[in-house]
Amino acid sequence: MDHEAAESETLPEDNDKSSSPTILNKQHSYTSDAASSDLEGSSGLSRDQGEEEDDSYHSASEESDSSEDEVAPRNTVGDVPLEWYKEEEHIGYDISGKKIKKHARKDKIDSFLAGVDDSRNWRKIFDEYNDEEVELTKEETKLIRRLLKGKTPHAEVDPYAPYVDWFDWEDKGHPLSNAPEPKRRFIPSKWEHRKVVQYIRAIRKGWIKFDKPEEEPRYYLLWGDDSTSAESKRQGLKYIPAPKPKLAGHEESYNPPVEYIPTQEEVNSYQLIYEEDRPKFIPRRYESLRSVPAYENALKEGFDRCLDLYLCPRTMKKRINIDPESLKPRLPSRKDLKPYPSICYLEYKGHAGPVKSISVAISGQWLASGSADGTVRLWEVENARCLKVWEIGEPIKCVAWNPLPELPILAVSAGHDVLLLDTELGDEEEQHRVKELLRADSSTMDDSGIVSWIPHEKYAGIWLKHSKVVTTVDWHRKGDYFTTSRSVLLHQLSKKQTHNPFKKLRGLAVSAIFHPTRSIFFISTKNHVRVYDLLKSKLISKLETGLHEVSSIAIHPGGNNLLVGSKDGKICWFDMDLSSRPYKTLKYVILLEHLVDKNVCRTHPKDITNVAFHRSYPLFASSSEDCTAYVFHGMVYSDLNQNPLIVPLEILRGHASSSSGGVLDSKFHPRQPWLFTAGADSVIKLYCH
């Protein structure tokens, strides 16, 4: 290293502007034999003689500042092989386009004599690309000497730099592990061997088949259609050929057969047909082709054809042969979905007017009904025996049993009033508790000034006077609270208090019900169903029904699905975990009798009066003014990824039509798959399986 440093101090730098750029980065092709022979010859010279030559050369020339960027190659032929110019007098072309003449090559004797006379001849090498001799600079000779000695080309690079330890040794015993390498790393894997044997066996037995390369067809259509030729050449969007016009037939012939020529009466009848249905061409017979006149619509039809090709979009339609029956949903058979109500078993007769509302006790033993004749009747379910009659004096709108079996209290709405009646059912202890709850010492007006609680002397109950008409009554699952609408109010039986938390309700309330398991309240208006949280007193969601007018609502016992009936004959099923829009809407479908399919979901053609869910069976029903009640199978799965299954089961008929309507109310038995229907014909029917 010291010797090379001393040599770098004594050897001067060349400053020959005509010399070539550095050989490591230039595009020239030098003859390596000449360079190596010159360098070997120069190695025989003494170091002093080389230094003297360098000093003399340094004194005669200046420092070299030549670089590859400043001096471009003289020959501009590019990657053309030089063998092509062997027989030519020139070697290429310069940047101005002139030929570069070949120089006469010296033989060995002349080159030897020139080397004796010239002390710098050992630095010269021959450039075959530019057909000239290039003299190496001092830096280039240093690079070549270092390469011949097996060293790095540049002296400033230290190949023996100290090792930089990247690992953090503080508080660490070992960088990775001191465990010796396991033996399994040096032994071929048995599992890989077994896997390879399995693959070989599968290939030999034909279990694994490789894709064979597609063979090009030996024959092809010489006169192929436009689609194949254009498709093979087109690289953008898929080419879609234009539909070809209809070819001329016998009608367009100048001498058509007699059966194609219409009579004069047929031609006159064409004037009575709509213009779009008239035949566009009427065949005529000519004696010769020469007498055929020009087609009057030729120019117009040609122009229309051009417009169709230019303006009309075209798409490829894939025709798939599908059986229409396979597109229908595969619903289970009705036999597998039993039990469900299908036959009328009992009739409850006694009312003189249309039966507006019915309600079944939670025990399933008693049935209460309210009629437009102003009476409320208590029936025994099993034998249709009327136990008690209350004369209210006003048409009854709604009746509802208390959901607790130990509190046989009946809520009745009539006009602007709500009556809480003691049915006198149950044992002595239950009757005593009911009388304590229905005891009101004096007339008490609620704080809101809307409802007054008055003791009813005739029937030993409580009389709630409202300022507005009461249409529906619904009890809370705990039996202490109940709600009334149309002005939605919450009443507490134990404290004889009334609350009005929905003063700013938008729209006229149709009905209001409690959630079966949570403190959630549903209020339906004519077009929407609002869901409220009673604990937080805020609106949770707003369900958009899309119906003309909502008539009734029912909540599933699970609490996540809602059924909404309308006066336009539609039923909406809401999955509240899924969306605020209906999951499925059942519409009325007009079907011929011989084409009626039991698996088609259809609903009533007239107003729906009530919808109801069964408490324990996967059933729901709807009643309508068309004197029918529809029974559906509605299975709700616990798996959220599985949609509810809705299957129509039965259409229950039997009520006579009346001016007051058809079936006005329907309720399920709490324990059995039975359905009660109340009709405008003043009859209550029980349908069993």
Q: What are the tens digits of pLDDT across the range 636-648?
A: 988 878 888 888 8
- What's the CA gap between 138 and 254, in Å, rounded? 101
- What's the CA gap between 406 and 399, in Å, rounded? 18
Higher pLDDT, 507 or 375: 375
Please name the amino acid found at residue 42.
Answer: S
Higher pLDDT, 306 or 55: 306
Supply the DSSP symbol for 105.
P
pLDDT value of residue 251: 81
User: Is pLDDT at 475 greater than 90 in this prediction?
Assistant: yes
User: Is pLDDT at 283 greater than 60 in this prediction?
Assistant: yes
Mean pLDDT value of segment 465-475: 88
pLDDT value of residue 47: 39
Please name the helix (run of DSSP H) or strand (run of DSSP E) that holds residue 378, with its range, or none: strand 375-380
Q: Is residue 386 within 8 Å of residue 373, measured between CB atoms?
A: no
pLDDT value of residue 231: 52
Supply the DSSP symbol for 51.
H
Average pLDDT, the chain: 80
Residue-wise pLDDT tens digits, 552-585: 999 999 989 999 999 888 899 999 888 889 988 8
Of residues 689, 569, 562, 686, the one with CA closest to residue 634? 562
pLDDT value of residue 5: 38
All residues at 6 or more sequence positions from 158 whose CB lies less than 8 Å from its CB, including other chains: none
- What's the CA gap between 684 and 650, in Å, rounded? 18
Question: Domains in the chain, start-ordered, CATH in brackets?
Answer: 2-148 (no CATH), 336-688 (2.130.10.10)
- What's the CA gap between 314 and 316, in Å, rounded? 7
Tokens linked to 274: 């709509």
Confidence of residue 296 (pLDDT cuts 50, 70, 90): confident
Alpha helices in 95-237 (DSSP H): 108-117, 138-148, 190-205, 226-233
Q: Report the range of poorest mean pLDDT among 264-268, 513-517, 609-613.
A: 264-268
pLDDT value of residue 358: 95
All residues at 6 or more sequence positions from 147 whose CB lies less than 8 Å from its CB, including other chains: 153
Which residues pair with residue 538 across a beta bridge?
533
pLDDT value of residue 485: 85
Confidence of residue 71 (pLDDT cuts 50, 70, 90): low
**Whose structure tokens read 């009626």?**
596
Share of the chain above pLDDT 90, in %: 28
What phi, psi does 555 have (nearest 5°)? Answer: -105, 140
pLDDT value of residue 598: 42
Mean pLDDT value of segment 170-185: 73
The string over 86-106, giving b where at least 16 C-beta atoms fall within 10 Å of a residue's C-beta and e elsewhere, is eeeeebbeeeeeeebeeeeee
Count the residues in the chain.
689
Confidence of residue 344 (pLDDT cuts 50, 70, 90): very high
- What's the CA gap between 10 and 75, in Å, rounded? 36
- What's the CA gap between 496 and 465, in Å, rounded? 13
Q: Report the range of poorest mean pLDDT among 3-12, 216-225, 238-247, 360-369.
A: 3-12
- What's the CA gap between 616 and 637, in Å, rounded? 14
- What's the CA gap between 487 and 227, in Å, rounded? 72
- What's the CA gap between 542 and 555, in Å, rounded? 15
- What's the CA gap between 538 and 383, in Å, rounded? 47
Confidence of residue 274 (pLDDT cuts 50, 70, 90): confident
pLDDT value of residue 46: 37
Residue-wise pLDDT tens digits, 103-162: 777 778 877 887 777 778 888 888 887 778 888 898 999 999 999 999 888 888 888 888
Please name the amino acid found at residue 610.
Answer: N
All residues at 6 or more sequence positions from 216 whose CB lies less than 8 Å from its CB, including other chains: none
- What's the CA gap between 645 and 605, in Å, rounded? 23
Supply the DSSP symbol for 21.
-
pLDDT value of residue 222: 67
Confidence of residue 361 (pLDDT cuts 50, 70, 90): very high
Q: Report the range of poorest mean pLDDT among 24-28, 197-201, 364-368, 522-526.
A: 24-28
Mean pLDDT value of segment 351-358: 92
Mean pLDDT value of segment 642-669: 88
Long-range contacts of 172-175 (CB under 8 A, 24+ apart): none
User: Is pLDDT at 596 greater than 60 in this prediction?
Assistant: no
User: Is pLDDT at 668 greater than 70 in this prediction?
Assistant: yes
User: Is pLDDT at 176 greater than 70 in this prediction?
Assistant: no
Tokens linked to 289: 């082709």
Give burial (CB, 10 Å; 0-12/13-18/19+) of 160.
Answer: exposed
- What's the CA gap between 109 and 116, in Å, rounded? 11
Mean pLDDT value of segment 2-31: 37
Q: Is the peptide bond preceding residue 339 cis, with omega within 30 degrees of 0? A: yes
Mean pLDDT value of segment 235-258: 79
CB atoms within 10 A of CB 435: 13
Tokens linked to 276: 């779009």
Q: Are strands 663-668 and 675-679 parallel, antiparallel or unpaired?
A: antiparallel
pLDDT value of residue 613: 94
Which pTM does this prediction carry? 0.55
Residue-wise pLDDT tens digits, 418-460: 989 888 888 888 888 888 888 876 656 555 567 888 888 778 7
- What's the CA gap between 457 and 441, in Å, rounded? 11
E-state strands within 38-160: 90-93, 99-101, 124-127, 132-135
Give burial (CB, 10 Å; 0-12/13-18/19+) of 2.
Answer: exposed
- What's the CA gap between 104 and 84, in Å, rounded? 18
Tokens linked to 105: 């090559």
- What's the CA gap between 384 and 373, in Å, rounded? 19
Higher pLDDT, 602 or 166: 166
- What's the CA gap between 513 and 377, in Å, rounded? 24
All residues at 6 or more sequence positions from 253 whose CB lies less than 8 Å from its CB, including other chains: 283
Confidence of residue 416 (pLDDT cuts 50, 70, 90): confident
pLDDT value of residue 217: 76
How far lies 636's CA from each of 568, 584, 585, 612, 633, in Å? 26, 13, 16, 15, 10
The string over 125-139, giving b where at least 16 C-beta atoms fall within 10 Å of a residue's C-beta and e elsewhere, is bbbebbbbebbbbbe
Of residues 464, 356, 394, 453, the one with CA closest to residue 680? 356
Mean pLDDT value of segment 490-517: 88
Mean pLDDT value of segment 458-487: 87
pLDDT value of residue 486: 81
CA 56 to chain centre: 86
Rounded to 10 deg, the angle between the 32-43 and 138-148 helix axes is: 90
- What's the CA gap between 149 and 133, in Å, rounded? 25
Greatest distance between any 2 Cα atoms in the chain: 151
Cα dihedral 331, 336, 340, 346 sign: positive
Confidence of residue 224 (pLDDT cuts 50, 70, 90): low
User: Is pLDDT at 59 greater than 80 in this prediction?
Assistant: no
Which residues pair with residue 51 across a beta bridge?
none
